[in-house]
Amino acid sequence: MDYVWIGAAVLAALWGAKAYFESRENKKLAEEIFEKTPPTLNGEEKEEPQTQFEMKFDEIEEISEAEADIVPEQPAEKPQLEPDLIVVQLMSRPNKVFQGLDLQKALSDSPLQFDSEKCVYELFVQDQDKPIIIAVNQQAPGRFPEKMGTDFSTQGLSFLLPLPSTHESNVQSFEAMLALINQINSQLDGLVCNDRGRLLTDQQLDQMQAKVEAYDA
């Protein structure tokens, strides 16, 4: 009886070994077939799908290398201009002077304000504690009396425009100074001159304009 069971066990082992080796052979054969001919679907070749990371990795790598070669441009530094002063003078005509009463009225009719401590006239803009334009006596020491009567006269006034202007626009400050001079001169009938007391030419006016514009650039 024991021999029967032993024989059955041996026979079963042989069949199992045969099935094992056949399955391995089938697997090997399948691998060889698929290596030569990819699996098809509806008669078309089927490609193994790539993952999103596999498809984009090379592109990301190329972009990273390109970005590494890019040197960011540094913004050009704005040149710092030294403080300067624009001077325009309003001079009386030859052999004449500006009389105190006439000058007092012309200045009072303008937007200029008299500074009793400095004894000069100043033009302010809203919310500014420093003047954008200063008018001083052309004759030393450059001061005006608070009350100009018949005993006062002068050969001219000097209008000063500090640069950079305390106003947001230097050009507008310059234009305001020219307008102010013309307004005052409409009553005094003087001559608009440069800082040396000579008639202001169009060329000199253009040079002043260019200098002022540089502070707004």
- Render the chain in DSSP notation, one character per residue: -HHHHHHHHHHHHHHHHHHHHHHHHHHHHHHHHHHHS--EETTEE-PPPPPHHHHHHHHHHHHHHHHHHPPPPPPPPPPPPPPEEEEEEEEPPTT--EEHHHHHHHHHTSS-EEETTTTEEEE--TT-SS-SEEEEESSTT----SS--TT-EESEEEEEEEES-SSS-HHHHHHHHHHHHHHHHHHH--EEE-TTSSBPPHHHHHHHHHHHHHTT-
69, 94, 114: which is the final residue of a domain? 69
The predicted pLDDT at position 70 comes to 61
The predicted pLDDT at position 7 comes to 47
Number of domains composing the chain: 2
My answer on whether 116 and 170 are in the same domain is: yes
My answer on whether 90 and 193 are in the same domain is: yes
Question: Within a 10 A sphere around the Cβ of 20, how many other Cβ atoms?
Answer: 10
- 20 lies in some domain: yes
Full domain range(s) for residue 30: 2-69
Instruction: Find the mean pLDDT for residues 154-167.
Output: 95
My answer on whether 15 and 57 are in the same domain is: yes
Pairwise pLDDT comparison (57 vs 77), residue with the higher score = 77
- 129 lies in some domain: yes
Split at pLDDT 50, 70, 90, the class of 162 is very high
My answer on whether 91 and 114 are in the same domain is: yes
- 8 lies in some domain: yes
**Model confidence at 15: pLDDT above 70:** no
**Model confidence at 73: pLDDT above 80:** no
Pairwise pLDDT comparison (141 vs 51), residue with the higher score = 141
The predicted pLDDT at position 54 comes to 47
CA gap 216, 172 in Å, rounded: 10
- 78 lies in some domain: no
The predicted pLDDT at position 168 comes to 86
Split at pLDDT 50, 70, 90, the class of 171 is very high
My answer on whether 53 and 117 are in the same domain is: no
Count Cβ atoms within 10 A of the Cβ of residue 195 and give its class: 0-12 exposed, 13-18 middle, 19 or more buried. middle
The predicted pLDDT at position 78 comes to 65
Domain of 178, CATH number, reads: 3.30.1400.10
The predicted pLDDT at position 126 comes to 81
Question: What are the tens digits of pLDDT across the range 55-64?
Answer: 454 554 565 5
Instruction: Find the mean pLDDT for residues 169-184.
Output: 96
Instruction: Find the mean pLDDT for residues 191-217.
Output: 96
**Model confidence at 172: pLDDT above 70:** yes
Question: What are the tens digits of pLDDT across the range 121-151?
Answer: 999 988 788 999 999 999 999 999 999 999 9
My answer on whether 135 and 203 are in the same domain is: yes
My answer on whether 139 and 95 are in the same domain is: yes
My answer on whether 59 and 164 are in the same domain is: no
- 79 lies in some domain: no
My answer on whether 6 and 40 are in the same domain is: yes
**Model confidence at 214: pLDDT above 80:** yes
- 52 lies in some domain: yes
12, 38, 69: which is the final residue of a domain? 69
My answer on whether 30 and 129 are in the same domain is: no
- pTM (2 d.p.): 0.65
My answer on whether 24 and 107 are in the same domain is: no
